[in-house]
A and B are shown apart, each in its own frame.
Chain A
Amino acid sequence: MAAADTPITANEYISHHLVNLQVGSGFWTLHLDTLIVSGLVGCAVFGLMYHVGRRATAGVPGKLQAFIEIVVGMVDRQVKDTFHAKSELVTPLAITVFIWIFCMNALDLIPVDFIPKLLELFGVKYFKAVPTTDPNATFAMSLSVFALIIAFNLKFKGAGGFLHELFTAPFHAENKLLQIALAPVNCVLRVIEEIARPVSLALRLFGNLFAGEVVFILIVLLAGAWSGPTLGSAASFLGHVVLSLAWAIFHILIITLQAFVFMMLTIIYLTLASESH
């Protein structure tokens, strides 16, 4: 499986799987696999939702319509339970985040060699199929959310309110002198807090999915230990099948959970941004 025509070492196999299909150099490198796969996944799933939504009826819904309604209804309820300010953006944002991340994560369940091997037939040397194992994809979303947090702060509190909060929270003081003394501390804390949010948001998703992907690759290496029809080879191949299955089943939980966590934190951060402390 892993060993194709020329035998490669485990090390080579793993590093081969961790290289993106890219063009350009330096900062202006583009990971084509990430861009194409995430775009295709998004177009497919949101296109499907558009297709279903366009002919959706308020009467008895079809199976697909009911399923989509359950998902968007769930997200909408989470938003309504948490976010109380008035905004037309939060629910669609949360829906996009949850569904897009879930579908990109779900690509992790396709056997690790399946898509790269298929594309190798067309001369594509490297391909990482799961966009969320690329920090560019996760940081793109978390930084967009970060920008929205700043925008919500300015929109709901005004520039003055935002600045006031920046210097007076989390440590309050009645005394004027103490207030001035606490201002830099508050400001530093707030800046760290704000920066930690997008970083943790992106790294949590990336880390979980990347680790999952690596575990899949390592399991597949077991099958790569095939050295002829011996008992040991058979055992390791069987072990690879069983472990892959077990990890995939467990991974379904991670896929869903990470999508949900990213969505919930997005909602919560925007809620915090729209409400005064």
Chain B
Amino acid sequence: MNINATLLGQVIWFAFFVWFVAKIVWPFFQRVIAERQKDIADGLAAAERGRLELDSATRRAEESIQEARERAAEIIAQAERRSAQMIEEARAQAKEEGNREKTAAQAEIDQQVSRAKEMLREQISALVVAGAERILRREVDAKAHAGLLAQLTQEMR
């Protein structure tokens, strides 16, 4: 075992290599490793965020479906109510219409009847006047009794 000046040379080599690694080589790897660690951390965080977003989206979708279902049920119920109401209304309207028509027809009939009666009366009064005229032709002056006849006709109305 002989220690000699080789030791000094080795110290110089050692110092040089330590300097080289410290100043040049290690910073490269330090940077790269740090960057990759950051990338991985970002990726994990993004994945976690994505998972949370998916959860909330699923929950929202379920809520929407539930809401839509409720709304559809409501609409169907409303439609059923409405149709029943419309049928009822139509029935009522039809009945009313029928009643009105019946009333109108009745009024027409009444009118016709009264007109026929009128006509009958006129004709009867004309017949009476004609009969009376024929009876009285000789004894009564038409001119002298025109007033009386008109009054008679008037009364018969």
Given known A95-B21, A140-B14, A144-B11, contact A31–B6 (CB-CB < 8 A) = yes
User: C-beta contact mask, A247-262 vs B, less than 8 Å → 1, else 0?
Assistant: 0000000000000000
Tell me the B residues contacting A by CB distance below 8 Å: 1-11, 13-18, 20-22, 24-26, 28-29, 31-33, 35-36, 39
Given known A42-B17, A46-B21, contact A29–B2 (CB-CB < 8 A) = yes
Distance of A19 Cα from B15 Cα, bound (Å): 26
Contacts of B35 in A (CB 8 A): 58
Contacts of A143 in B (CB 8 A): 7, 11
CB pairs A–B below 8 angstroms (26 shown): A24-B4, A29-B2, A29-B4, A29-B6, A31-B4, A34-B6, A38-B10, A46-B21, A58-B39, A69-B29, A73-B33, A89-B22, A92-B18, A92-B25, A92-B26, A93-B21, A93-B22, A95-B25, A96-B22, A131-B10, A135-B1, A136-B3, A140-B8, A140-B11, A141-B14, A144-B14
**Residue A114, interface by CB 8 Å:** no
Q: Is the interface of A mostly helix, strand, loop or mixed?
A: helix
Contact yes or no, A27 B14, CB < 8 A? no
Contact yes or no, B3 A92, CB < 8 A? no
Choice from B13, B15, B21, B22 contacting A35 with Cβ under 8 Å: B13
Contact yes or no, A46 B32, CB < 8 A? no
Q: Quote the shortest CB–CB distance from B119 to chain A (angstroms).
A: 116
Contact yes or no, B4 A28, CB < 8 A? yes
Q: Quote the shortest CB–CB distance from B44 to chain A (angstroms).
A: 16
Closest to A60 in B: B36
Closest to A147 in B: B11
Contacts of B28 in A (CB 8 A): 50, 53-54, 56
Q: Quote the shortest CB–CB distance from B23 to chain A (angstroms).
A: 8
Contact yes or no, B29 A53, CB < 8 A? yes
Contact yes or no, B5 A57, CB < 8 A? no
Question: Which 4 pairs from chain A and chain B are nearest by CB?
Answer: A53-B28, A140-B10, A58-B35, A92-B22
For chain A, residues 18 to 52, give those with C-beta under 8 angstroms from any C-beta of chain B: 20, 24, 26-31, 34-35, 38-39, 42, 46, 49-50
User: C-beta contact mask, A133-169 vs B, less than 8 Å → 1, else 0?
Assistant: 0111101110110000000000000000000000000
Choice from A26, A35, A59, A92 contacting B6 with Cβ under 8 Å: A35
Contact yes or no, B15 A144, CB < 8 A? yes
Given known A89-B22, A96-B18, contact A42–B13 (CB-CB < 8 A) = yes
Contacts of B1 in A (CB 8 A): 135
**Residue A127, interface by CB 8 Å:** no
Contacts of B17 in A (CB 8 A): 42, 46, 96, 100
Contacts of B14 in A (CB 8 A): 96, 100, 140-141, 144
**Residue A88, interface by CB 8 Å:** yes
Q: Quote the shortest CB–CB distance from B91 to chain A (angstroms).
A: 80
**Residue A189, interface by CB 8 Å:** no
Contacts of B10 in A (CB 8 A): 34-35, 38, 131, 136-137, 139-141
Contacts of A105 in B (CB 8 A): none
Distance of A62 Cα from B42 Cα, bound (Å): 22
**Residue A72, interface by CB 8 Å:** yes
Distance of A38 Cα from B10 Cα, bound (Å): 8
Distance of A46 Cα from B3 Cα, bound (Å): 27
Contacts of A61 in B (CB 8 A): 32
Contacts of B3 in A (CB 8 A): 135-136, 139
**Residue A274, interface by CB 8 Å:** no
For chain A, residues 67 to 106, give those with C-beta under 8 angstroms from any C-beta of chain B: 68-69, 72-73, 76, 88-89, 91-93, 95-96, 100
Distance of A254 Cα from B26 Cα, bound (Å): 26
